[in-house]
Each structure stands twice: as structure tokens, then as C-alpha cells.
Amino acid sequence: MTCWDNTQVPSASSCPATPTTEADCSKAGKSWCKYYSGTGGWCSNETCETYSPSGQMTCPDGKTFVSSFDKCPRRSTTVQPIEVINEFKTCSGGKVVKITENCPPIENYVMCANGSQAPTLASCPPIEVKKDEITNCMNNGGNWCADNSGKGTGYCQPKGVACGTSVVYPPGPDQPPVEVQNRPLTAREIRDIERMRKQYVRELNELGRIAKRDKSDELIKKIADLQKELAGMKLTDSSAWEKLRDFQDTMQDLRDALQDSFGSPGEMDEKMQRRALQQMKSGAKQFLRSLEAKKKQVDKLTKQGVNVDTEIVDLLRQAIEMAKLVDKATTYDEVRDIMEQIPDMAEKMNEVFPKLEMLSRLPKAIAVVNRQLTVTDKMVKGALQQAKRRGIDDTEQVQRMVQRVADARAALAQVKDGSVSVDDIFDFIDASILEPLEEARDIANGITSIANARAAVGKLQASVKQYTARIKKLKVADEDVSQAEEVLGQLNEEIAALRAATARKITQDVAEEVLGSLDRIGDLIDEIEVALGLVKPDAILQQIRNSLEKGGEEFDEIRVDDLEKLIVRSFRTARFADSMVGRNVALY
């Protein structure tokens, strides 16, 4: 692949790093190209583009800067003589001689039947034909037809039948052959005739469009008649060739009539120039409408506080001026040079349209940034108040929190005034605005967490005293308080760790440690209050407990003893019936 400096490497990872500073670029022997805004630039392997001064445009010659297009230098119409640099010339016979020499005289030749050339027809070699064939044809009153293929052959036609005409010999031996004028077409002839017919159809359609455009009623009617004639023409036998030859003559007459309707060559050129002028004006109007729509979008962005690059504004203004000049022109020559520049101008516009699209998204991004600034300001203000109230004296972190917010505001101002390149603007917002604001919020959260923790330490001390008194009271009542004493010890250790953490330097890790300590203290308080009986189940839990203890359907127990007695009694009854059956059998 080709790298930025035109070196050839097997993969992109092998390319040398692109210099990012002017000094490094100069050391590499490349050109440092500055951005149009004047801030920053890039290292290029090619010559840097020259920008027009602010408020001016670049003329088509690529080197003249003017305030409006009509002040650009015009093309020169002076005809420069062509310098003869060739010392040789080609004669009509194909021979190449020097310019100073005369061409040799042209020798005329004729093409003989066998394909050779000779000065005269009499000089051609004789056609090799068997004399007996010619003699037999002539003796029988026939007509000998020489073959023009150059092979020295021929054929015999019946008397009165022209060469190249098909004949049919009747079955009677005494009847003369009959000439067939309209023989059936071969498959190849059918294809050729159909191709010619389609060609005439296409040509008539094209001539009809030209006649309608020139509003020539006579020609329009004539073309319509020819179209009907061609559609109804029967091209089924050899007469088709003669019909198509006649139709070709009619078509030529039509072409001549259409050419005459245009007038002289000068009149035709003038007419075509007027038509071209109208076409150019129509295209320029469409181009102008598109440009004006883009200008409205740029004006809207400006009202929203977005600073659009001067290069884009100047390019849009120049394109609008060019389109308006075309619209006001009265001759083809006035707009020809301008229209030649419009495609290049359109390509330049297409290059800046992605930048405009990127800028159109900027107002929403700025709105998001403003909301983030508002939230961060509130958090920073609250953190400063908490630090002052709780005696948090971490000057370094407090100053950094305030400075990061100020950095974000300064970066936002750069975005609004257009100092940032459009291509890098969203990366700039992320790195220079959102990240500093996030860091400021993290510091504010840390200050607030430590301030809340310091306030909580005093309340926790009072709770510990309450738990200690409760344990003593339960001991007097001879109740087991071992679990409560164990949890109380853990709680005192956690409170001491929290007090030590709040005295340390404010960092994100310290803030997370404080929050984790507060969570663990909350769990220990819940546990000790349950152990000391200071917490009662809430109303819903109590309702569930009552429902499970009382009410519902009663299910009596099964009396297993009675069931066993019933089974034994059934077994005895069954054995008694069996014994009675045995007895009856014995009696018989």
C-alpha cells in the first residue's frame, strides 16, 4: 500500500508516523500546510494549497484573487500560429517525404477480376474459364455471367434473364425457364432486412423529436406518414430490397428538408447557441436554488451561535454570484466561461457540505454541554459550602475542581467562536469539556461525601452511647447480650476508621472508601438494633406474621389407631367367609 509520504509498504502498520508539528515536518523534508483559520496545520507530501484572502475569491486561473467573479481576467481569444515542428509529410499515395520535396505523381490503377492491380483493364490477366462451358452456354442461346469474386469463374443464365436473377425451370421439356422476380428471402436476408427496418424506425423517431422541438408542422406530418408507411411495408420476399432502397431515398430527402429548415450554417449555429443558453440558464437556476437553501442553513447556524468557517461562507458566496451571472446573461459567449467553472465549484461545495452537516449538529451538542455545566456548577457550589461548614481544608483539590470547570468553559468558548477544526470538534468537546466537567463532579462528590461523613461521626457517637446503655440494662435483667456486644465492638472500629478517612487528603479513592465505610456502619447499626430489640417489624411484615399464625381452614389429623383396627377387623371377616365356603363344599 501507499503511505502518506508516497512510500510503498506491505501494511498500514509499517507506514512512518505523520509529523504533527511544523518542525518535525520540515525535518522530514515535507511541506507544512496551515489551516485556513490560521491555527494548526498538517504535514503534506505535496505543495500546499494557496487560500484566497478573507473576503476575496480565487479566479479560474488559480492565482488571481478578487472580490467578485466579474473582476477575474478573461480568457484570451488571440489565435496563435502553430509552429511547424515536423520535417516530413505524407503524400496522397501514402509515401512519406520531406517537406521541401515534392510528392511523386499519382499512378492510377484498376482492380482486375482476380484481385490484382493493372494500369488498364486490358492489362488484366484473362479469366481462367473452361472454353467448353462458355461455348455450350452461347450455343444454347444462353447468357454467360462472369463471377466478380476474382476466382476466374462464371455461370450461364437462360436467354433473356439478367445476371443475378433467380429462375425456375418448369417440368415440361419444351417450355422455356421462367424468371422469378420475388423469390423467398433466406434466413440471413430476413435478419439483415429487420435490422435495417429497426434502424429506420430509430432514425424517424429522432428526426420526429427534432421536428417537434423546432415546431415544423410540415416535417412532423411527413415523418408521421413515413412511420406509417414503414410499419405497413411487407418485407417478405426479394422485393424488400428494392422497397428499402426506395425508402432510403425518401429518408435522404427528409434529412435534406430538415437541414434546410435550420437555415444556413450560421443561422443553425445561432439557434443552437440560443438553445444551449437556455439549457445553461435552467441548470444555473437549479444550482442557485440549491445554494440559496444551503445559505439559509448557514444563516440559521449563525443565529444559533455557531461560527461557520470563513472558507465555507466565501465559497458559498462565490458560487451564488456565478449562478446569478449565468441567470442574467443574454448571450452564449457570456456564460460559456462561467459554466465551465461551475462543475469545479460544485465539487468544492460537495467537499464542504460534510462540514456543514457536522456544524448543523453542533447546537444540540452545545445544549447538552450547557446542561452539564449547570449540573456541575450546582455540585461545585454545594461542595464548596460543605467544605467551609465542615472545615475541610484541602486547598489543592478545591482549586483543581474550580479550575476544571473554568477550563471547560474556555473550551466551550473556542467551540462557539470557530477556533476548533470542524473535523476534530466532537473529539475536542469530549476531551476538553466533558472530561474536565466529569473530573470536577468527582471531586465535588468526594468533598460532599467526606463532609457528610464528618457530620455522621458525631451522630454515630450518640448512637453508640445509647447501645451501650441498653446492653447494661439487659445484663441487669440477666439476658444474653453477647451478640450485641460483638456487633458494638465492630461498630466502634468502623467509626474510628471513618473518622481517620475523613481527615485524609480528598481523592476519588478516599471518597469511595468513605462511602463504603458508611454502608458497613449502616449494616452494623441494623444488626445491633435487632439484637437489642430496638427494631420492630414494620406493619406489613406484622400483618403477614399474624395471618400465618391465626385463621384459615382447620385440617383434623387422621386417627391412625382406628384405621389399623378397621383393617384387622376386615381381615377377620374375610377369613370367616372363606372358612364357611370350605365347609359347604365338604357337606356335598
Secondary structure in 3-state letters for 4-42: CCCCECCCHHHCCCCCCCHHHHHHCCCEEEECCCCCCEE
DSSP annotation of 184 reads: B
pLDDT at residue 407, rounded to an integer: 92
**CB 420, CB 414: distance < 8 Å:** yes
DSSP annotation of 157 reads: E
Partners of 167 in beta bridges: 179
Q: Which grid cell sits at 503?
A: 481527615
DSSP annotation of 237 reads: B
pLDDT at residue 292, rounded to an integer: 87
231-281 pLDDT, tens digit per residue, is 888 877 778 888 888 888 888 888 877 776 655 455 556 767 777 778 778
For the chain, give every domain's residue range.
Answer: 19-69, 187-261, 267-360, 364-531, 556-588
Q: Which grid cell sits at 178?
A: 421462367
pLDDT at residue 484, rounded to an integer: 82
DSSP annotation of 401 reads: H
Q: Of 451, 448, 488, whose CA–CA distance to 471 is shortest?
A: 488
**CB 67, CB 57: distance < 8 Å:** yes
3-state secondary structure of 552: coil
pLDDT at residue 246, rounded to an integer: 84
CA separation (Å) from 584 to 4, 426, 574, 575?
A: 122, 112, 16, 15
pLDDT at residue 167, rounded to an integer: 46
Q: Which residues of the chain have pLDDT under 70?
A: 1-2, 4, 9-14, 35-40, 49, 51-55, 57, 60-63, 68-70, 74-88, 90-95, 105-133, 140-141, 146-183, 260-269, 271, 393-394, 506-508, 535-588
d(CA 96, CA 89): 6
pLDDT at residue 112, rounded to an integer: 54
